[in-house]
Amino acid sequence: MARTSRGFCLVFTGGEAILAASDSTRTRTELAPATGDYVVVQDSPEDGPHIVDIAPRSTALTRRAPGRVPEPQVLAANVDSVFVMHGLDRQLSVRRIERQLVVAWDSGAVPVVVLTKADEVASQALLDETIAEVVEAAPAAEVVATSIMTKVGIPEIEAKIPPGSTVALMGLSGIGKSALVNELSGGAVQRTGEVRATDRRGRHTTVTRDLIPVPGRGQIIDTPGIREIGLWQAYEGMDKAFPEIAEAASECRFGDCEHEQEPDCAVRDALASGSIRDRRLAHWRDLMAELELQEGQLEEFARRAESRDLADAQRRQDRERPNKRSRQRRRRR
């Protein structure tokens, strides 16, 4: 599937692209069609083409959907790699990169950190220092600095989109996602816009998630800029994004060690030895607290749903009792 937008999806059928309706009641669930999905389309004489089924996904780039109700939102499906992108024309946020890496690793795909607009860094020494800082924040992922203007890093990026593969882009507006797509695809297939000089924020020139072929290579899923990237039950992603903490935690004396005051805590030992950085552990704690809060919310919503189901069942029984007594009286007569 090449695009999802407001209840309709653009679907590649092999010979042509068709517009198919999707069930609006499923747009906020894990079963909602997502760009990159393989779907079954049925052509109805009354309603036209519509999606009736979705094939099992090999990977799913999923975040917590914005809003109060805890539920997942699939951003892209069946991707082989996720380019976690950050613009070097703004202040570096390693915390945001780490958060995005948790989501990317949890998808089942392989993340690559792509630093765009390298030409805007004042010096090569400063660029090297910035790359080293990102490498420390992404110990299990490759980091590539790129520039559309100077073509730095573009061959390395092209090599990471082999024929038959699919790559999803993830990052804020204005960091150069669409510009990179245009460079790789050999044409202006995506709109691009300027960023504000005051805060480097970009406009949402990309408003849909589009599947775009790269000539001679695979395909890219360009996504709208994402400011809010909530985690969704991403415990596996946490272990892969923070491998040094996961490895140390496996050596703790207690399986439920909170790495605070417990005896024989390997995480605290690693912190003391310097193999775990204090900043990394602090952010890991924040993200774990977010996931634990989410689990509590899910349990509370499940309890409320169960209570509503019981109340509905009781109301149905109460409505049926008078009808039953009335039928019994009629039989006596």
How many CB atoms lie under 10 A from the CB of residue 153?
18
pLDDT given at position 59: 98
- Amino acid residing at 327: R
Nearest to 36 by CA among 51, 62, 57, 14: 57
SS3 200: coil
pLDDT given at position 198: 47
pLDDT given at position 143: 98
Residue with tokens 């890093």: 153
Per-residue pLDDT tens for 139-160?
Answer: 999 999 999 999 999 999 999 9
Q: What is the DSSP string of 136-170?
A: HH-TTSEEEE--TTT-TTHHHHHHTS-TT-EEEEE
Task: Please check whether residue 175 is in contact with residue 118, taking contact to mean a CB–CB distance below 8 angstroms.
Answer: no
pLDDT given at position 197: 43
CA distances from 7 to 34, 37, 205 (A): 11, 15, 20
Token pair listed for 330: 């009629």
Task: Please check whether residue 56 is in contact with residue 74, taking contact to mean a CB–CB distance below 8 angstroms.
Answer: no
> Which uninterrupted H or E stretch holds 62?
strand 60-64
Domains of the chain: 3-54 (no CATH), 60-222 (3.40.50.300), 242-276 (1.10.40.50)
Nearest to 279 by CA among 111, 91, 115, 133: 133
Q: Which residues contact 38 (CB under 8 A, 6 or more apart)?
A: 1, 54, 55, 78
pLDDT given at position 205: 46
pLDDT given at position 278: 97
Task: Please check whether residue 107 is in contact with residue 61, taking contact to mean a CB–CB distance below 8 angstroms.
Answer: yes
Task: Please check whether residue 291 is in contact with residue 231, taking contact to mean a CB–CB distance below 8 angstroms.
Answer: yes
pLDDT given at position 23: 64
pLDDT given at position 177: 92
- Cα separation of the two ends of the chain: 65
pTM: 0.85
pLDDT given at position 203: 45
Instruction: Give the rounded distance of the alpha carbon of 137 from its chain centre.
Output: 18
pLDDT given at position 232: 97
Q: Which residues of the chain have pLDDT under 50?
A: 24-28, 192-207
Phi-psi region of 122 (alpha: psi -120 to 50; beta: other; left: phi over 0): alpha
Task: Please check whether residue 224 is in contact with residue 204, taking contact to mean a CB–CB distance below 8 angstroms.
Answer: yes
Q: How far apart are CA 241 and CA 113, in angstroms?
A: 12
